[in-house]
Amino acid sequence: MWQAAGMESTAAARAREVTDAVLADLAAGVHRGVVVDSPPGAGKSTLVVRAARELAATGAATMIVAQTNEQVDDLVDRIAGADDRLRLGRLSAADYRPTPRVARHRNVRVAAKPADLDAPAVTVGTAAKWATVAEGTWPWAIVDEAYQMRADALLRVAPRFDRALFVGDPGQLDPFSTVDTGRWTGVSWDPMQSAVAVLLRHNPDLPLHRLPVSWRLPPSAAAVVAEAFYPDAPFTAGTAPGVRRWALDGPPVDAYDDTLDTAARTGWALHSLPPAFTPRTDAEAAAACAALAGRLLSRGATATCERTTAPVTAERIAVGAAHRDQVAAIRSALPPHAAQVTVDTANRLQGREYDVTIVLHPLSGRRDATAFHLEAGRLCVLTSRHRQACVVVARAGIPALLDAYPSREPVHLDTPVRFPDGWAAHHALLEHLAATAH
């Protein structure tokens, strides 16, 4: 245990070093913007809370731009909880009713217009809400989840701030649109880029920091996820091997148990189904996802981490899939005792954290591999939500499918090349899963 504790403290020291460098850049004020790349669970929110408090301490009014109301409420709760004398404003839609975690703080005011917030030190709102604010400027902005924000959303918000800290996870899903956006391909202000991409293309000399430690992912996952999805920004797990562990209580009976026991042993498991071409809502695969969640709960499991030892309850389990109809199929297949298990799409699982996740592989049962299903961000979100283990459910034959459909996205002039390539990331992850099976 001595060794493990030592490793954790070095990890903490490295993480603190980066955080200090970020705050020093903010304080120096040499650059108009500072960018922080954060791998999954690397303490992004902690950084945002700390930066907001430090900026508030200088007396500069700060605006925080998050992407969803959920994220705004989370940030308000965390900042208000960290410092009950800091006056906070929560910009909201007219029909917003404060959630309990916002309403419980006496230092938070909620209003639809900045003027009604009584000049708080920190004002938090969604990007969509900030876009409706037509007047006033803030010396500082913190843009949270900046890789989920589209460049056109930043364009509407940017006139409101002088300088900004951009924080986000580059491995998440790219912004998307339902219309054809080809006419802007290669243009430096292509509105389909992420906010960070457009910012760095016009301000290439801005300081770029990378948080080096994932506190969420266990060592078994950090290495795999970093190699597959963050080839340019390696990171490590914040915990030593053996600190995170979990085991199932009841005796194993069938293949589901073998899969779960493998996941408990190695942190990963591939639950392979016979090869078949299926519709998107593959009933057998959906049933397998649901059955795995059900079995985990009926056998019962106990998870130990650096904070606590606790049973793995339904709230600590998530099932992820690529499409909404798959989510619906899995949800309707869940046994009654597993009804509280979260089932959602990759888009909606972004930023969330569980002990064990069960993932329906985006390419399972498919005849072709489209750009949507190959997107690295989608697979990355699905396979980086867990603190203990991730179980992937898939029809056999995906490597062959990948080989039959190599990436053939056209290459455009003046468009920065994006890494990782989804095709390579899929192969890397599958290779690792195949290796854990034995």
Partner 1 sequence: MLSALARAQAAATGVAQPLTTVGHLHAAAAPLVCVPLALAGETLAPLAALVGTDRAAPRLLVVPQPRNRDLRFAFAAALAAEVLPYLDARRGATEDVPADRGRQVRVRYLDAPQVWVPNPGGVEFVRLLGRSLRFRRTDGEHPVPAAVPRLGCWLTFLADRAELPGSALLVAATAALGAHWATGQSAVEDAHLPALLAWIDPPEGRTGAGAAAAAEDPAVTPPAGPATDPAFDRDVLAPLVAAYDRGAPDAPGRLAAALRGQLTPAWDAVWRAYDLLAALPPGATVAARWGQDRDAFTGYAAHLDEGGLPQPRHDSAVAAAARLHRLERAAATYALQRAYDDPLVLADHRLAGEAFRGEVVLADPTRVDDSGRRPVLRPRITVRSADPLHLAPGTALCAPGRPKQRATLVSVEGRDAVLELRGGMGRGRTPEAGSVPEVGEVVTYTTLTDAFAPAPAFPAPEDTPWTHGGPPADPAGGDPRGGAEVPGDPPAGAPPEPVPAG
From the CB of 183, what's the least distance to partner 1, in Å? 7
* Cβ proximity to partner 1, 196 vs 379, nearer residue: 196
Q: Does 154 contact partner 1 by CB under 8 A?
A: yes
Rounded Cα distance between 137 and 123, Å, is 12
DSSP letter for each residue of 363-392: TTT-SS--HHHH-HHHHHHHTSSEEEEEEE
Residues 160 to 199: which contact partner 1 by CB under 8 A? 164, 177-181, 183-184, 187-192, 195, 198-199
Q: Which is nearer to partner 1, 189 or 372 (CB)?
A: 189
Adjacent-strand bridge partners of 209: 36
Measured distance CA(244)–CA(389) in Å, rounded? 10
> In this chain, which of 1, 134, 411, 417 binds partner 1, going by CB under 8 A?
134
* Cα-based torsion angle of the residue sequence 329, 332, 336, 338 in order, rounded to the nearest 10 degrees: 30
- Residue closer to partner 1, measured from CB, 328 or 437: 328
The contacts of residue 289 (CB under 8 Å, 6+ apart) are: 319, 321, 330, 333, 358, 360, 393
The mark string for 269-288 relative to partner 1 (x by CB under 8 A, - otherwise) is --------------------
Of 133 and 288, nearer to partner 1 (C-beta) is 133
Query: Angle at the Cα of 215 (from 217 to 35), degrees rounded to 5?
Result: 105
Rounded CA separation 103/48 (Å): 21
Q: Which residue number, 183 or 307, has a Cβ lying nearer to partner 1? A: 183
For partner 1, the closer of residues 157 and 260 by Cβ is 157
As given in the structure block, the two tokens for residue 271 are 């639950």
Among the listed ranges 151-159, 295-303, 313-321, 358-366, the one in contact with partner 1 (CB under 8 A) is 151-159
Burial class (CB in 10 A: 0-12, 13-18, 19+), 2: exposed
Min separation Cβ 253 and partner 1, Å: 31
CA-CA-CA-CA torsion sign (253, 256, 260, 266): positive
For the CB of residue 203, give the shortest distance to partner 1 in the complex, in Å.
Answer: 7
What is the Rg, in whole angstroms, of the alpha carbon atoms belonging to the chain?
22
Which is nearest to 143 in space by CA: 189, 198, 182, 186?
A: 198
Given candidates 77, 145, 152, 375, which one binds partner 1 under the rule CB under 8 A? 152
The answer to whether 97 contacts partner 1 (rule: CB under 8 A) is yes
Shortest Cβ distance from residue 425 to partner 1 (Å)? 28
Check residue 289 for interaction with partner 1 (CB under 8 A): no
How many residues touch partner 1 (CB under 8 A)? 37
Q: Quick check: 202 binds partner 1 (CB under 8 A)? A: yes
Segment contacting partner 1 by CB under 8 A, of 42-50, 107-115, 156-164, 371-379:
156-164
Q: Check: CB of residue 252 under 8 Å from CB of residue 261.
A: yes
Among residues 100 and 274, whose Cβ is nearest to partner 1?
Answer: 100
Cβ distance to partner 1 smaller for residue 184 or 405: 184
Cα(63)–Cα(68) distance, integer angstroms? 15
Q: Which is nearer to partner 1, 151 or 389 (CB)?
A: 151
Query: Contact with partner 1 (CB under 8 A): which of 33, 120, 267, 377?
Result: 33
Q: Shortest approach of partner 1 to residue 407 CB, angstroms?
A: 20
250-279 as b/e: b if 16+ CB within 10 A: eeeeeebbebbebbbeebbbbbbbeeeebe
What pairs with residue 392 in β-bridges? 270, 359
- Residue numbers of the site for partner 1 (CB under 8 A)? 32-33, 97, 131-132, 134, 151-152, 154-156, 158-159, 164, 177-181, 183-184, 187-192, 195, 198-199, 202-203, 324-325, 328, 331-332
